[in-house]
Amino acid sequence: MKAAMLAILTGSGVLAGCSVFPDYVRPAIDTPAQWQAQRKDAGGATEFTDWWRQFDDLVLTRLQQAAEQDNPTLEQAVASIASARASLAGAEAGGMPSLTGSGAFSRSKGGGTSGANSQTATGSGTGFSSGITQILSGSLDASWELDLFGKFAFGRQAEQARLTAAELTWQNAKISLAAEVASQYVSYRACQLTVAAYQNAIASKQDTARLTGVLAGAGFSSPADAVLAEASLHASESSLIAQRVECDNTVKALVALTGLAEADLRAWLAAGGGIPTPAQFQVDSVPADLLTQRPDLAADERKLAAASADIGNAVAKRYPSVSLTGSIGKRKTETTGLTLSSNTWSIGPTVTLPIFDGGELRSKVDSAEAAYASAWASYRNDIRAAIKEVEQALVNLNGAEQREIAEGRSAEQYRQYFRAAEINWRAGGLSLLSLEDARGQMIAQEISHITQQQNRVQYWIALYKALGGGWRAQDTQLNAGTPLSDGNRRSEEQL
């Protein structure tokens, strides 16, 4: 018997290395050789882990740290990692030997019979009597399903890939959160500069309205001029109110992102200054580098690997399975002074052949293949979207920088024009309507300049995010054409 068991174990060890599905290799992706929107004027290192520190803004850094410490989105991603880790632990238990124990105890009393009726029970005409019967039994049962065709190996591979994808999704959530916090912070700083511009305009209009009222009262100006000055003042006051509402809403957004008390957050914001300016960097990477620079794309690839393993698992289930089972038991019976004991054992293989199932197993293979096709399409689509994001960020950034320079020059010239118009108006050489027109153009251009400053910084943020936010893949297994180290995988030729 020992020789037979050794032969079974030896044969199973050989067969366990077999696979019914080819190895998975990460498919190569066609990407452009270089970025079409190039930036050659910027310098600096391309490594920007914790990229918001490039802004050299203490308030922004504190906001980023607060957001990472308390954010439901990150907590949800952490929970997903814990769930994936538990699933992996369950998959690793598959194919391992199992041992179960059982025990039972019963106590009973039987009734006595006599006369002719007892013949049916005893085969004689004599009666019998029974006493207390006690039965004590216990057993140990062992079972081990051999992984002949890689079913359990595929399951472990799929869950390991999903765990890695969950960890990468957490990394991507951190990058997205950091970008959102930085964007909202820049919006708040720009909003405050716009508030200051409206306040300056109101102060100027108040002085104009006061002087116009004096002139109208003295008969040197028409009452219509006084009404016009007041109307222009109230219009700016309305714009200021709307701008302050926008600033308050931005604060509310930052509260939701960081989890800070609003009073504490406003105290932090009060300590800041204008729109922060990030350090520029040269984009030296090429589009293909996004596959190792962006955790969301790396997560897509791991999901693709998991989908491939699911196909292997489904295919393997269509093949026979062999389990080694064994049992050891003991039974003890006591009745009317008589004690009987017995020992039992059994060992041997069990073969299960899926002969007919109405197409259920084939349908599971088809479903797994469809899931793989969906994951493959999603992977390619996300790569194209990532390339588009970088290209658009580069284009938008280049345009915003050029527009900011032009808007700045225009704003300064409009200020000079208004100052000259105001001097001319005070001297009586210009109408109030012309003065208000000059003031309106100046205010609009100042706000446009602030908007372009905001756009330029936010396009930098978008570029940081599009390039992966400083994350770099350390796992060289993500390189195209490199097989993974465990399990059985789908080959590139099958894509």
CA 239, 244, 246 angle in degrees (round to 5)?
A: 95
Please, what sign has the CA dihedral across residues 111, 116, 120, 121?
positive
Rounded distance between C-alpha atoms, residue 168 and residue 174, angstroms: 10
Domain locations along the chain:
19-96+149-319+360-494
pLDDT for 177: 92
Q: What is the pLDDT along the chain (495 residues), one digit of tens a residue?
A: 333 333 333 344 444 446 677 778 888 888 888 878 766 555 554 456 678 888 888 999 999 999 989 888 888 888 999 999 898 888 888 878 888 888 898 888 765 544 444 444 334 444 444 578 888 888 888 888 788 888 888 889 999 999 999 999 999 999 999 999 999 999 999 999 999 888 888 887 787 777 777 666 766 666 777 777 788 888 888 888 999 999 999 999 999 999 999 999 999 999 877 888 887 766 777 787 888 888 999 999 999 999 999 999 899 888 888 888 888 988 888 887 788 888 888 888 888 888 888 888 889 899 999 999 999 999 999 999 999 998 898 898 888 888 888 988 988 888 888 888 888 888 887 777 787 778 888 888 888 899 899 999 999 899 888 888 877 765 434 443 344 434 333 333 332
Torsion on CA atoms 89, 95, 99, 102, rounded to nearest 10: 90
- Of 385, 388, 389, 446, which Cα lies nearest the Cα of 416? 446
The CATH number of the structural domain formed by 19-96+149-319+360-494 is 1.20.1600.10
- Contact partners, residue 482, CB within 8 Å, separation at least 6: 25, 26, 476
Q: Is 33 exposed, middle or buried (0-12, 13-18, 19+ CB in 10 A)?
A: exposed
pLDDT at 19: 67
Task: Kindly report whether the global pTM for this prediction surpasses the value 0.85.
Answer: no
CB atoms within 10 A of CB 293: 21
Distance of alpha carbon 451 from the chain centroid = 31
How far apart CA 262 and CA 24 sit, in angstroms, is 51
pLDDT of residue 480: 38
Q: What is the pLDDT, as a whole number, of residue 125? A: 42
How confident is the model at residue 302, as a pLDDT?
92
- For tokens 């009404």, the residue is 227
Tell me what pLDDT residue 220 has: 60
> How confident is the model at residue 18, as a pLDDT?
62
Give the number of other CB atoms < 10 A from CB of residue 345.
Answer: 11
Which pLDDT belongs to residue 479?
42
CB atoms within 10 A of CB 356: 7
Alpha-carbon separation of residue 359 from 320, 363, 372, 490 (angstroms): 16, 6, 20, 23
In this predicted structure, what is the pLDDT of residue 488? 36
159, 209, 217, 226, 318 from 223: Cα distances, Å: 81, 11, 8, 5, 94
SS (H, E, C) the chain: CHHHHHHHHHHHHHHCCCCCCCCCECCCCCCCCCCCCCCCCCCCCCCCCCHHHHHCCHHHHHHHHHHHHCCHHHHHHHHHHHHHHHHHHHHHHCCCCEEEEEEEEEEEECCCECCHHHHHHHCCCCCECCCEEEEEEEEEEEEEECCCCCHHHHHHHHHHHHHHHHHHHHHHHHHHHHHHHHHHHHHHHHHHHHHHHHHHHHHHHHHHHHHHHHHHHCCCCCHHHHHHHHHHHHHHHHHHHHHHHHHHHHHHHHHHHHCCCHHHHHHHHHCCCCCCCCCCCCCCCCHHHHHHHCHHHHHHHHHHHHHHHHHHHHHHCCCCEEEEEEEEEEEEEEECCEEEEEEEEEEEEEEECCCCCCCHHHHHHHHHHHHHHHHHHHHHHHHHHHHHHHHHHHHHHHHHHHHHHHHHHHHHHHHHHHHHHHHHHHCCCCCHHHHHHHHHHHHHHHHHHHHHHHHHHHHHHHHHHHCCCCCCCCCHHHCCCCECCCCCCCCHHHC
Report yes or no: 380 and 29 within 8 Å, Cβ to Cβ: yes
